[in-house]
Structure 1
Amino acid sequence: MLPRKAQPLYGRHPWALHSAFDHIDTAAVDGDVVQLVGDHGRFVAYGVVNRKSRIHVRLYSWDVEQPLTDDFWKQKIATSIDARRQLGLFDENAGCRLIYSEADGLSGLIVDYFAGHIVLQVNALAMERRLDVIVAALNEQVSPKSITLRGEAGVIKAEGVTIEPRVLQGEVPTEPIFIQENGIEFELDLSTGQKTGFYLDQRENRVAAAKYFSGRRVLDMFCYTGGFALAAAKLGGASEVIGIDGSDKAIDLARRNAERNGLSNVRFESVDAFDHLKALVDAGEKFDAVILDPPKFTKTRRNINEALKAYYHINRQAVNLLNPGGILVTCSCSGNISRDDFQMTLLGVAQKSGRDIQLLEQRSASIDHPTLLTCPETQYLKCFICRVE
């Protein structure tokens, strides 16, 4: 390893990039466990090599006495799930992220639990090669009704891994299932082979935002299947909630969620969110609260400036829609956008709009998506709750 590249790895960052190496043992086959050593032969960590990936070696153990055996992986999985149990998140009628990749020391593995069913996302060769061990460990810890395998297309392509979405165990319900979150029931479709229709990372943020909405007219942009909108209507006591999203399928599901929860103060429209924001401003519409939870605007550092312009644009329009004293709940799930950059974007909105914006709360992902301090990339979600004068 090159000395100047080794310091973050001694500091327990789990990614050894291709540029960090001056030599990799030619006997090591991609997917093998390797020992990472420094320039003087000093042990750094055990990892799994993949020359096809920019992350040449994913690191998992910094203890020379703790190699990457089957027992190691099983113990890591057990520790992660036990942490969720201790937090009171593991409930057979709820949803929970049981394993969050690097944050739980299992780089490339995400495990979500939905009312007895597991959705397993494998995003690294290291995890793909150890699927049997992972499934066995999950059975020991959870005894799920089904386990479905998925992979994030762009990530697995960069890893040189082929992941065919499939059922690994049990039977996935052909009919929707339901989970409870904060007293609200949500419908999920696990049979699509794609997203579940639900984002667990906003669980606490939906509750935190709801407390600002009593008696207010609320606009929820990029509402997807209605997570924030339903919380505003049921928990927040909003007078009216309008949810907007460009996906017909998501809006249909949001409407069913509202009906299932007996909510008459919320309605949903399927229309392009970006165009609709502008149309609302042009029409002179006003709201007491606006929620912005858009999709990821950039997946790479190359497009950060374009992403920041997009965040500025939608937040400027949201501010234009707000009555004085209105609440702006604005989110970014783009991991390459820092918290400081996101806040500076809102500063620009305040300056250009001539409106005072008070930052009331800075929030992150729910507690089953922890941040590993030695891997700051695990903190991707920003949720700011603001008051706009």
Structure 2
Amino acid sequence: MSENPSEVETETTIAADADSALAALPVVVIKKRRALPFFSRHPWVFTGAIARVEGDPAAGAEVQVVTDRGEFIARGLFNPHSNIRVRLYSWRADCAVDETFLSERLDAALALRRDVLDRNQPESACRLVASEADGLSGLTVDRYGKWLVLQLTSFALAERRDVIVRLLKEKLSPAGILLRTEKGIRDAEGLQLSDGLLEGEAPPSPMFIEEFGVQYGLDLLQGQKTGFYLDQRDNRAAFAKYTAGRSVLDLFCYTGGFGLSAMVNGGARGVLGADASEAALKIAQANAELNGVADRMAFEKGDAFRVLDRLREEGQQFGAVVLDPPKMARHRSAVPSALKGYAQLNRAAMELLSPNGILVTCSCSGLVSRADFEAALAKAAIDAGRNLQILETRGPAADHPASVFCPENHYLDCYICRVE
């Protein structure tokens, strides 16, 4: 059977239009022998990989990225203010980074949480969009009950904020959408954003979610990150299984996550939580009261190292210690200092553990490799004169997936250990 001439003509016209649209884009040319990571779908094109820019793309403009021989690699969004000069999104020459593209990527991200992970419970919280892992580098979306919280770490996506907000409204019908900014991103990306309500009604303060039977009150407007550390959800539950009858020291406790899980689900004997944020500790205390365990939980404001020093001087010991510090290396130059800090922190924690104690130790410094973190733990154990066994090696909850094409977005390591 012969082809329909009109169909062939239509397909030819569409292809020609796509080629024309691509040809109209500014061109970013990659240096010789530097293109392989981008053919392998790494989404970040740093300034040092670029040979030249042809055309005059504005900040946030779509560009095509090609090899030094002119071979097409991908389409991305340009930012002259950032060391990540281009963020790549589409590796198809005929697929523009437009509203249709954004809508399709959002649909795919939502389908993962809805159809695969079954994270639809209205009283719970979930990460809906995880930046590079969902093909939307620079966009994070968390759901807390009826509210959505956005983080924009890409200038170009921030320029498309109205489109993203409208698409989320159409797909999810939230009660409100809030914007939270990440420390250091304004300078890194040239962003001029302020935290606040973008759409709809403001959430109550506190608002409440449930996680494995534990009730948590949150402050979505003032709390750290987007209001809670959702990535540690499964790690909190895993830790609770080791805590029956144990006394627990929860350092960097924030609003009480690990400690509350140990008390409510694990049957811990008691918990001492410490954090540098007085506001977070007030919420932690309220959460202990909310869950009916305030009589066995105490909270202390203070620097973690000073708290550890005081407890050691007093001769106190615990059956379990949790270390969940903030990011300790934001730049590669800070990695040696971070590793030294991790070793000192873990040594001090081991010195407070009773024999056969449980240590939960975390690193959210993506620049610190798992091998280097384990080496820091080994040094800490040797310096403390203790034997350490890794029982579980864990990462973030499944709604925080990692992209195999972008190793840098693997940022959270969580180890559950036995200390003899």
Please indicate, yes or no, whether the TM-score normalized by the shorter chain is above 0.5.
yes
Quote how far apart the aligned CAs of 1:93 are. 1.0
The one-letter amino acid paired with 1:326 is G
Quote how far apart the aligned CAs of 1:349 are. 1.4
Trace 1:175-254 onto structure 2 (pairs within 5 A).
Answer: 175-192=205-222, 195-254=225-284
Q: Secondary structure at the match of 2:392?
A: strand
Matched, 1:101 2:109: no
The one-letter amino acid paired with 1:68 is V
User: Which residue is equivalent to 2:31?
Assistant: 2
User: Which residue is equivalent to 2:177?
Assistant: 147
Asked whether the 8 Å contact 1:172–1:190 carries over to 2, the reply is no
Quote how far apart the aligned CAs of 1:73 are. 0.5
In structure 1, list runs of 5 or more residues that go unmatched. Answer: none
User: Which residue is equivalent to 1:18?
Assistant: 47
Alignment TM-score, normalising by the size of structure 1: 0.97
Structure-2 change in CA distance of 1:297 and 1:194 (3 Å): closer
Asked whether the 8 Å contact 1:99–1:109 carries over to 2, the reply is yes
Matched, 1:334 2:330: no
Matched, 1:256 2:260: no
1: distance between equivalents of 2:296 and 2:170? Answer: 44
Trace 1:257-276 onto structure 2 (pairs within 5 A).
Answer: 257-263=287-293, 264-276=295-307
Quote how far apart the aligned CAs of 1:150 are. 2.3
Asked whether the 8 Å contact 1:220–1:229 carries over to 2, the reply is yes
Which residue of the other structure, out of 70, 74, 94, is the alignment partner of 1:45? Answer: 74
Matched, 1:313 2:351: no
2: distance between equivalents of 1:217 and 1:191? Answer: 33
User: Which residue is equivalent to 2:332?
Assistant: 301
In structure 2, list runs of 5 or more residues that go unmatched. Answer: 1-29
2: distance between equivalents of 1:297 and 1:175? Answer: 30
1: distance between equivalents of 2:49 and 2:415? Answer: 36
1: distance between equivalents of 2:390 and 2:223? Answer: 39
Which residue of the other structure, out of 312, 321, 324, is the alignment partner of 1:281? Answer: 312
Asked whether the 8 Å contact 2:180–2:225 carries over to 1, the reply is no
The one-letter amino acid paired with 2:409 is T
The count of aligned residue pairs is: 389
Quote how far apart the aligned CAs of 1:265 are. 2.5
Asked whether the 8 Å contact 2:317–2:354 carries over to 1, the reply is yes
1: distance between equivalents of 2:372 and 2:136? Answer: 28
Q: Secondary structure at the match of 2:121?
A: coil
Asked whether the 8 Å contact 1:357–1:386 carries over to 2, the reply is yes
The one-letter amino acid paired with 2:94 is E
2: distance between equivalents of 1:149 and 1:88? Answer: 25
Instruction: Encode CA deviations 1:328-366: one digit per residue, 9 max, x unaligned.
Output: 000111111111111000111122222110011110111
The one-letter amino acid paired with 2:150 is L
Q: Which moved more, 1:347-356 or 1:40-49?
A: 347-356
Instruction: Encode CA deviations 1:146-174: one digit per residue, 9 max, x unaligned.
Output: 01122224112111121122321111135
Instruction: Encode CA deviations 1:57-111: one digit per residue, 9 max, x unaligned.
Output: 0000111222212100011011101111120113221111111111111111111
Q: Secondary structure at the match of 1:22?
A: strand
Quote how far apart the aligned CAs of 1:318 are. 0.6
Q: Secondary structure at the match of 2:164?
A: helix
Q: Secondary structure at the match of 2:348?
A: helix
Alignment TM-score, normalising by the size of structure 2: 0.90
Quote how far apart the aligned CAs of 1:125 are. 1.1
Q: Give the greater-gyration-radius structure (CA).
A: 2
Quote how far apart the aligned CAs of 1:27 are. 2.7
1: distance between equivalents of 2:416 and 2:377? Answer: 11
1: distance between equivalents of 2:78 and 2:392? Answer: 41
Q: Secondary structure at the match of 1:44?
A: strand
Q: Secondary structure at the match of 2:34?
A: helix
Asked whether the 8 Å contact 1:331–1:381 carries over to 2, the reply is yes
Asked whether the 8 Å contact 1:174–1:191 carries over to 2, the reply is no
1: distance between equivalents of 2:167 and 2:110? Answer: 10
Q: Secondary structure at the match of 2:33?
A: helix
Q: Secondary structure at the match of 1:377?
A: helix
Instruction: Encode CA deviations 1:222-246: one digit per residue, 9 max, x unaligned.
Output: 1010000000001111111111112
1: distance between equivalents of 2:224 and 2:325? Answer: 18
User: Which residue is equivalent to 1:163?
Assistant: 193
Quote how far apart the aligned CAs of 1:248 are. 1.1
2: distance between equivalents of 1:330 and 1:98? Answer: 26
Q: Secondary structure at the match of 1:67?
A: coil
Quote how far apart the aligned CAs of 1:142 are. 1.0
Asked whether the 8 Å contact 1:220–1:291 carries over to 2, the reply is yes
Quote how far apart the aligned CAs of 1:270 are. 1.9
Structure-2 change in CA distance of 1:137 and 1:265 (3 Å): same
